[in-house]
Amino acid sequence: MKTQNKSILVTGGGSGIGYAIAKAFAGNGNKLILVGRTEERLKTAAASLPNTTYIVADITNETAVAQLAEKVKAQGGLDILVNNAGTGVAYQLLQGEPVVQNARYEMEINYFSVLNVIEQFLPVLKESKEAAIINIQSVVSYLPSLVLPTYSPTKAALHSYSQSLRVALQRSAPQIQVYEVFPPLVDTDLVKDFDSPKLSPQVVANDILKAVQENNFNVRSGLTNDIYQLYRQSPDQALAALNSLEA
């Protein structure tokens, strides 16, 4: 699809992958809307990009999301929705951590809130002649990480939902495309304490821009592509490789 003269909303757009995506799509007549909970961060990010505004909103609050959709519609509509906001808790099972509490927290932000954002914005996107939903997921959408035991299922759930949504929209609203992004560890605050190689957010963002331009619905940057190819051959070996275990 074309990536010029579009209205684009990015959740979690004040930093990390979200900001890098906004930067990649900036210019070319595009109008960018950054959404998040921290105004100062959003304000700084928006000021650095052309034709960019921000809206402070908590995407886990259903009323706030409904108001956000109404505001965006009143401002002229939307062509591309980027669901980037997310969180994760690093720990290992069987070590006394509050597993259920962590899982509920992560699922609320990474899964249920994304579904609600999409449901609220679908009527707005349907008014566009050419639209897209971009869901930022993870390599752990395919296989779980032992140090992200309840984060991993949230991304697996979003992967399954995204596939169902793509098929449903192809039948009922084919002008809306669904893109899934599966980055490996990316150099953001979320994984700043991880002692592992990390991909630059801008590399992921540039891969997303290219994928949208080429109608490639699955974006697997860096290590994710290697893990995915191994996963297709041997899920057990891929699981071991992802977690640096002996196969």
- Across the chain, mean pLDDT equals 95
**224 in Cβ contact with 183 (< 8 Å):** yes
Catalytic annotation, residues? 151
Type of residue at 171 = R
Nearest one of 85, 53, 50 to 71, comparing CA atoms: 53
- Reported as a single tens digit per residue, the pLDDT across 200-221 is 999 999 999 999 999 999 999 9
**175 in Cβ contact with 128 (< 8 Å):** yes
**212 in Cβ contact with 46 (< 8 Å):** no
Percent of the chain with pLDDT over 90: 92
Evaluate if residue 7 carries a pLDDT over 70.
yes
At 180, phi and psi to the nearest 5? -115, 135
The domains of the chain are located at 7-242
83/33 Cα distance (integer angstroms): 12
Can you tell me the mean pLDDT for 64-83? 97
Can you tell me the mean pLDDT for 87-109? 96
Between 1.20.1260.10, 3.50.50.60, 3.40.50.720, 3.30.830.10, what CATH number should domain 7-242 receive? 3.40.50.720
- Reported as a single tens digit per residue, the pLDDT across 116-135 is 999 999 999 999 999 999 99
